[in-house]
């Protein structure tokens, strides 16, 4: 039997010439780099759709990809851009296409039951295998490219290179300089982060082989299987659970761009990871400007854009003034001291510009400091080495903060996550030094005359004593 010609269709059981799986994986990687959550499951559905449809034209591949790789209408613009960059479609077809020329060495589709039609090839005469090769060349171009093609590559840079460069630039960009499109792309980088808080010891126990306590009941139950002899000793240990993470975010005019980015971080962190993860904290999110608003229900939105839109609708004081002390007072009275703040890790996101009474802020920070496990303050102004906490609001809150970080860009979020998961004992930061007195000292006030009294209180002995003459 003679061997089939190189142009003959592959025999049954052999790998077809068109690598559908390779095409789906390359295109899925390009979409992920562009900010679309196209995971392996979507790539598999894309490959299955191409196999079932049997259409290898640009329009067929576009229809299959659009139906399987997109989950939100807001992703269509990015999808079209990546699809055009990866597959490089040819110009529009003429109005009257020419019929295909059937020759003895014409290649057929992998499935012999599908008859070749004029739409089974791409407009420029390329099949699916050539598309995979071109897509792979866009992702990792070889070093042996000709000089004539280098000018075209520079004029039309691959989408993956542009996306990778943009991702590197986003890491060092200040949150206040990001555009709405860059903020959406930043969500993909934030999905790589994990928010963890120290565990909390409960009063319940769980079975554990190396536990420090003897489980007598379980030991006796197991001894019934061995004739009453306790062959194995059961032990138990204290059960741990993650602490609650309470976020108080300032949404005033000076903090609005930073609030959007950090609220997006809380949204991504609350939806990433497994529900059974013991280090995943229970997150409660509040916003404040001139009033306190609970935004925890908004974290159940389908996308970060929807979450931010719901936050803007729920908080009528968005981009308003700043009354940190009044907001903390309302939180302590309604949520904090009643249970939500007890033993929790509290994250306050604000620049410390207080328009109200600074003494009220210091008083409420002291209340929160007594019930919370740890207080972390994220202030974007601290990125400057010349920053000093001399403003009235920040100076009053500084002694009650366990950690102060900047969190002004993506790279500085590592310090924020480290401060949240830290297990170090509480060490209140040093209060800012008081202002130096004036050169001319004030005249001492004359002593007030002692008021006549029959008895006075001795604070050391805590009893009544007679006044001394």
Lowest pLDDT segment from 18-32, 50-64, 127-141, 342-356: 127-141
Whole-number pLDDT of residue 302: 77
Domain co-membership, 231 together with 268:
no
Lowest pLDDT segment from 102-106, 177-181, 193-197: 102-106
Domain co-membership, 384 together with 345:
yes
Whole-number pLDDT of residue 294: 92
DSSP annotation string for 281-325: PEEEEEEESSSEEE-GGGGGSSSHHHHHHHHHHH-TTTT----HH
- Identify the band that residue 268 occupies on the pLDDT scale cut at 50, 70 and 90: confident
Q: Is residue 107 part of a domain?
A: no
- Identify the band that residue 165 occupies on the pLDDT scale cut at 50, 70 and 90: low
| Tokens at 317, concatenated | 């004081």
What total of structural domains would you count in the chain? 3
- Give the span between the Cα atoms of 176 and 154, in whole angstroms: 32
Domain co-membership, 46 together with 133:
yes
Q: Is the pLDDT of residue 110 over 60?
A: no
Domain co-membership, 280 together with 227:
no
Average pLDDT over residues 135-158: 45
Average pLDDT over residues 228-250: 88
- Among 191, 219, 240, the domain-final residue is 240
Q: Is the pLDDT of residue 133 over 60?
A: no
Whole-number pLDDT of residue 353: 87
Domain co-membership, 230 together with 372:
no
Q: Is the pLDDT of residue 401 over 90?
A: yes
Q: Is residue 261 part of a domain?
A: yes
Which CB contacts under 8 angstroms, 24+ apart, belong to 186-189? 186/261, 186/264, 186/410, 187/35, 187/264, 187/268, 187/304, 188/32, 188/35, 188/37, 189/410
- Among 185, 212, 240, the domain-final residue is 240
Q: Is residue 318 part of a domain?
A: yes
- Give the span between the Cα atoms of 120 and 180, in whole angstroms: 40
Q: Is residue 58 part of a domain?
A: yes
Whole-number pLDDT of residue 166: 60
- In the chain, DSSP finds a helix count (H) and a strand count (E) of 15, 11
The reply to whether the predicted model has a pTM over 0.85 is: no
Q: Is residue 278 part of a domain?
A: yes
Lowest pLDDT segment from 89-93, 225-229, 365-369, 384-388: 89-93
Structural domain boundaries enclosing 355: 243-421
């Amino acid at each position: 039997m003679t061997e089939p010609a190189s142009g003959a269709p592959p025999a049954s059981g052999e790998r077809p010439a068109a690598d559908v799986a390779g095409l789906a994986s390359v295109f899925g990687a390009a979409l992920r780099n562009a900010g679309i959550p196209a995971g392996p499951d979507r790539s598999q559905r894309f490959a299955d759709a191409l196999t079932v449809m049997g259409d290898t034209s640009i329009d067929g591949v576009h229809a299959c990809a659009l139906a399987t790789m997109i989950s939100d209408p807001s992703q269509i613009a990015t999808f079209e851009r990546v699809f055009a960059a990866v597959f490089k479609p040819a110009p529009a077809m003429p109005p009257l296409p020419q019929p295909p020329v059937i020759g003895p060495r014409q290649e057929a589709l992998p499935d012999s039951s599908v008859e070749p039609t004029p739409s089974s090839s791409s407009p420029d005469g390329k099949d699916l295998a050539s598309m995979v090769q071109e897509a792979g060349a866009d992702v990792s171009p070889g070093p042996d490219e000709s000089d004539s093609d280098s000018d075209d590559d520079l004029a039309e840079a691959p989408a993956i290179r542009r996306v990778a460069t943009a991702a590197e630039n986003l890491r060092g960009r200040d949150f206040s300089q990001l555009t709405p499109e860059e903020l959406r792309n930043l969500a993909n980088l934030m999905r790589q982060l994990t928010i963890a808080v120290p565990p909390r010891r409960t009063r319940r126990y769980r079975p554990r082989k190396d536990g420090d306590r003897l489980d007598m009941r379980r030991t006796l139950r197991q001894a019934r299987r061995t004739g009453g002899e306790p062959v194995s000793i059961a032990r138990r240990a204290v059960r741990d659970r993650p602490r609650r993470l309470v976020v108080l975010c300032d949404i005033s005019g000076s903090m609005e761009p930073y609030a959007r980015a950090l609220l997006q971080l809380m949204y991504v962190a609350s939806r990433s990871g497994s529900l059974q993860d013991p280090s995943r904290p229970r997150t409660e999110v509040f916003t404040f400007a001139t009033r306190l608003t609970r935004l925890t229900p908004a974290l159940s939105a389908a996308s970060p854009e929807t979450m931010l839109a719901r936050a803007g609708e729920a908080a009528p004081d968005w981009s308003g003034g700043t009354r940190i002390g009044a907001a903390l007072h309302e939180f302590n009275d309604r949520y904090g001291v009643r249970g939500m703040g007890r033993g929790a890790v509290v994250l306050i996101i604000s620049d410390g510009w207080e328009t109200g009474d600074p003494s009220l802020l210091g008083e409420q920070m002291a209340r929160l400091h007594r019930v919370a496990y740890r207080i972390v303050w994220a202030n974007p102004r601290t990125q400057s080495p010349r920053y000093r906490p001399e403003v009235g609001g920040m100076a009053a809150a500084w002694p009650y903060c366990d950690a102060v970080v900047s969190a002004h860009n993506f790279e500085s979020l590592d310090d924020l996550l480290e401060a949240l998961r830290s297990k170090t004992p509480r060490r209140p930061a040093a209060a800012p030094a008081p202002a130096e007195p004036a050169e001319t000292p004030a005249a001492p006030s004359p002593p007030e005359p002692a008021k006549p009294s029959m008895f006075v209180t001795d604070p050391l002995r805590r009893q009544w004593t007679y006044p001394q003459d």
